[in-house]
Homo-oligomer: A and B are copies of this chain.
């Protein structure tokens, strides 16, 4: 059932994002309707008077939205939002939603923290208190959950929209742990269900281990059967087999569904089975003998959920606590991706190519500024200023987006471990993020570059001026009519493992996009649009691609020249040539649709040749990957990431990092809330 809720989670998140659209899209209009302009002030009394006469039956369920600058936009809609809401969801779901949301809003325990951040400890305590309060409200009985899947999905989505830590905490204990036991179908496990639903115990689902995630065959925790005592002995052979990433295990779980390899006295192994193992004493919340259990520490998000780890030292459990039928196992937690060079190598090549571009442009700029200070105001100097502006305006978007995608790819390739705050992929991402917007949103900046190119193109069309710029980045346009006539022929020697093939393709692409953008702009203007609207309408599919393609061409050209100059030591030529070709082909492959559309590519082979060349280059660079990283990586002290240290001992470093955190094995300061201050299911139901 987990995956369905995951789908629900995404769907629920998207509306959140959509709500933001409400804020974004109309910004200039809201801005025009300035605060202080009485015509735009919302008068609550007028609103009430106007709302009263319309006694629509659904007004209570779906009350009017607040007045304000959005009213005018709401009035433009082609449909009634109440009607659509009722079409999408039944009245009973809408009622459940309303009940949950208004209950949470009116309960001070669910007040959003005002100013300042919650400490992790406090946030985890709050999540537990809220988990308990959810039981007290008893929004949906277990019976209802099973008979009405949509109600359950609505219930989890509502909790999640409020806080996904809380929803996950509830889901993992009650639904994942609970339903696994329930579906084992044995009466002897019924006691656990009853204890779970009365909050006497708290559950978690312990499959994932430190050094392997989804691969259930690789799970190394063992459960040896001892026929003498009719017990299983649960054991973790070493720290890499520690259960890791388990939600609720960090601070609250008293019982875990532990997945282990079942071994019989004769030595036969019967594969993975699930066992109910007591982790903590519900009275004291201290660990049971033989169990080492702790909290993984801060994550990039969902910090209200206590993800934890546990190692077992020959922990004995009664035979009955083997679940005799576990149903389909869907793994949860971390996953370390198998060897997949293609995923990160292009970003490594991009790091080299963009670093070279950035440095060479920096030198150009410094020369430009030196002349400014010398009060050189020649025509060439002005032209150089425009050219540099065009290059930096597209350079920031290209570099910041490449970094953003590269960091996210690394983060995902590291699985759960990339989500742990101590590994600092979150810091890299968050610190890079403002580059996408400051000094102007990336899309706005790209328009500066396309305007520069379109200006040159128009000038040339009118007066036949030569394409010539101080840094020579646009000189190739002089041959645009020849270039536009070119077609991809494939390389002569089979395979296109050299950057000259993508360079030729990029020249065609820029000419094509320039011609197309010019025509589109012309057409928009002739249809009566003003300059601003015309340019905006050309942006999405024309000018934006034009600016990026032009910059990529320039980066590829500079890196090609750099890696093919005579001064490159012979022993470095092969590796640098491959980096140059990989970056060029990989960037180009993002434009394959345009290359086909414009007729530069035709037939299946062209596209396949590029893809095969990328894979071949990745495979050729595979053995050089670590050394290429060594060359440009900052020292360990600067990187400060256990999984990224130069010694490569990632699991050992990660394990040390986890254990070095403060209070990692300590009982939560709010343990008494879990064990002593008991509360009654449904005790607040009357207040709904």
Contacts and interface: CB of A to CB of B under 8 A. Distances in A.
A117 interface: yes
Contact of A441 (B146, B245, B337, B403): B337
A362 interface: yes
A158 B634 CA distance: 8
B444 A335 contact: yes
A332 B396 CA distance: 13
Contact of A3 (B392, B444, B632, B660): B392
Nearest to A110: B637
B238 A36 contact: yes
Contacts of A27: 211, 336-338, 650
Given A431-B164, A623-B76, A440 B65 contact: no
A20 interface: yes
B301 A431 contact: yes
Contacts of A341: 25
A11 B362 CA distance: 12
A438 B416 contact: yes
Given A23-B414, A646-B22, A331 B629 contact: no
B115 A661 contact: yes
Contact of A35 (B15, B65, B239): B239
Given A334-B437, A572-B83, A402 B10 contact: yes
A428 B101 CA distance: 18
Give the interface residue-count category, chain A.
35 or more
A650 B31 CA distance: 9
In this complex, which of A27, A214, A409, A568 has the most chain B Cβ atoms within 10 angstroms of its Cβ? A27
A173 interface: no
B116 A662 contact: yes
A340 B444 CA distance: 11
A642 to B, nearest CB: 9
A392 B165 CA distance: 22
Given A24-B414, A87-B569, A212-B31, A101 B637 contact: yes
B70 A435 contact: no
A146 to B, nearest CB: 8
Interface stretch (A223-231, A282-290, A351-359): A351-359
A660 B423 CA distance: 33
B648 A26 contact: yes
Contacts of A594: 607
Contacts of A604: 597-599
Contacts of A245: 438
A149 B115 contact: no
B569 A334 contact: no
A311 B626 CA distance: 52
A33 to B, nearest CB: 9
How many copies of this kind of chain does the complex include?
2
B399 A646 contact: no
Contacts of A299: 434
Contact of A34 (B238, B438, B440): B238
Contacts of A393: 3
12 contacts: A15-B632, A18-B633, A22-B644, A23-B643, A24-B344, A25-B341, A31-B211, A81-B631, A214-B440, A301-B433, A302-B434, A541-B611
Report, nearest first, the 6 A-B pairs whose CB atoms are least far apart. A301-B430, A7-B358, A10-B399, A14-B351, A149-B366, A596-B596
A644 B115 contact: no
Contact of A596 (B150, B426, B434, B601): B601
A649 interface: yes
Interface string A464-506: 0000000000000000000000000000000000000000000
A426 to B, nearest CB: 7
A88 to B, nearest CB: 7
Contact of A22 (B36, B436, B568, B629): B629
A66 to B, nearest CB: 4
A574 B604 CA distance: 38
Interface in A332-377: 332-345, 347-348, 350-351, 354-355, 357-359, 361-363, 365-366, 369-370, 372-373, 375
B649 A69 contact: yes
Given A183-B372, A432-B10, A73 B150 contact: no
A619 to B, nearest CB: 9
Nearest to A179: B369
A437 to B, nearest CB: 5
A301 B67 CA distance: 34
